[in-house]
Amino acid sequence: MRLDQYPLAPESGERSSTGGATAVAHPNIALVKYWGKRDDELILPVADSLSMTLDVFSTTTTVRLDSEAPVDRVTLNGAPAAEEPYRRVAAFLDLVRGRAGRIERAVVDTRNTVPTGAGLASSASGFAALAVAAADAYDLPLDATGLSRLARRGSGSASRSIFGGFAVWHAGQGTGVEGDLSSYAEPVAVGDLDAALVIAIVDAGPKAVSSRVAMRRTVDTSPLYRPWVESSRADLTEMRAALLRGDLAAVGEIAERNALGMHATMLGARPAVRYMSPATLVVLDAVHQLRREGVAAYATMDAGPNVKVLCDGADAPRVARALRSGASRTYIARRGPGAGLRAGDGLPAGDGL
């Protein structure tokens, strides 16, 4: 038994003297899902969730302070950010400035390596990288827990991308300050496990309903929501035990039923939200066929039609081949590192990156 081998986020104790910082973070895939908030403003979830941080599709974000600038400037992959992402990044910077007692505006440059049009969300890696870079640039001293709480305010799932390997995001208790202080992620102890996630892209188009809107509608209108939350709490307890045992089959079974249950809550919403497409079901059938052939492969899906298949690292190439019946592209991901500062630009180095 060990805590995960990957480094925690660095404490942002190393100060940059240049008024800027660059950070790198990776996306994570939840094996026990976050679906539903009890507080939209503070991004406090209804239940705990648990994820694996990936070693692919990193986000690199640079935050430079500009004391002359009247407003923040934000570029995404080299182009000015659209209105909605700009608003979210500027609101996040306001939060950091408020905590740090600073007023300078920032120039934010974010680059995602997730393939363009792959239909994979980048808000987890995006806000984890922004939290680490902005905290350093504004001299806000935060440990890994503080960075996780801060990243949570940008996007809930970003709280988990502060950590490498497997991480649990605690829902915490209460609302207001009590809720804010008690809701953060931390690493999960795992046994001997060579887990891979094969990412099957079935549809690269933009989603019809954002996960934020779908989540709220599900909590407010789906009669299936509360029962899923109850079963998800039990899934989390069982998942932690399965990870500790290094029991990939149990981890996969729990992850698959948790994801299907989450999608059932959305189908029960009024009006229904359906992210699964016919191609999603073709991939799910291929996963069932793999199991019939004796391969331990288990599916999970997020707020979109793409499928991520958990399997042993040694089986990943075979699983990827089998999924191509329904998927246009596949990628193999393994456990990746936590978010951290990047060396270069005269800025201090982050741990392990």
Q: Which residues bind ligand 2P0 (CB under 6 A)?
A: 30, 33-35, 43, 49, 121, 123, 155-157, 211-212, 302-303
Q: Which is nearer to ligand 2P0, 121 or 131 (CB)?
A: 121
- Which residues neighbour 313 within 8 Å (Cβ) at sequence distance 6 or greater? 194, 195, 196, 334
Specify whether the CB–CB gap between 284 and 299 falls below 8 A. yes
- The smaller minimum CB distance to ligand 2P0, of residues 60 and 218, is found at 218
Which runs of consecutive H residues, i.e. helices, occur in 64-189?
83-100, 123-137, 144-154, 158-161, 176-182
Residues 59/44, Cβ–Cβ less than 8 Å: no
How far is Cα 155 from Cα 290, in angstroms, rounded to an integer? 34
Burial of 148 (0-12, 13-18, 19+ CB in 10 A): buried
CB of 19 to ligand 2P0, least distance (A): 28
Of 35 and 86, which CB lies nearer to ligand 2P0 in the complex structure? Answer: 35
Give SS3 for 47. Answer: coil
Q: How far apart are CA 340 and CA 115, in angstroms?
A: 22
Distance in angstroms between the alpha carbons of the first and the last residue of the chain: 25
Identity of the residue, 156 or 187, whose beta carbon is nearer to ligand 2P0 in the bound complex: 156
Q: Which is nearer to ligand 2P0, 49 or 112 (CB)?
A: 49
Is the Cβ of residue 37 or residue 97 nearer to ligand 2P0 in the bound state? 37
- Closest approach of ligand 2P0 to the CB of residue 145, in Å: 18
Cβ distance to ligand 2P0 smaller for residue 65 or 266: 266
Nearer to ligand 2P0, 66 or 186 (CB): 186
Smallest distance, Å, CB 260 to ligand 2P0? 12
Q: Considering the complex, what minimum distance in angstroms separates the CB of residue 30 from ligand 2P0?
A: 3
Min dist. Cβ of residue 147 to ligand 2P0 (A): 16
Q: How far is the CB of 179 from ligand 2P0 (least distance, A)?
A: 14
- The closest of 306, 318, 189 to 246, measured between CA atoms, is 189
Give the separation between CA 239 and CA 253, rounded to whole angstroms: 9
**Minimal distance in Å, beta carbon 226 to ligand 2P0?**
17
Nearer to ligand 2P0, 60 or 159 (CB): 159
Pairing of strands 73-76, 105-112: parallel
What is the closest distance, in whole angstroms, from the C-beta atom of residue 140 to ligand 2P0 in the complex? 21
Rounded least distance, CB 206 to ligand 2P0, Å? 14
Among candidate residues 41, 23, 28, the one with its CA nearest the CA of residue 108: 23
CB burial of 116-133 (b: ≥16 within 10 Å; e: otherwise) equals eebbbbbbbbbbbbbbbb
Q: What is the DSSP string of 282-294?
A: HHHHHHHHHHHTT
Give the residue at shortest CB distance from ligand 2P0: 156
Which has the closest alpha carbon to 350: 152, 144, 186? 144
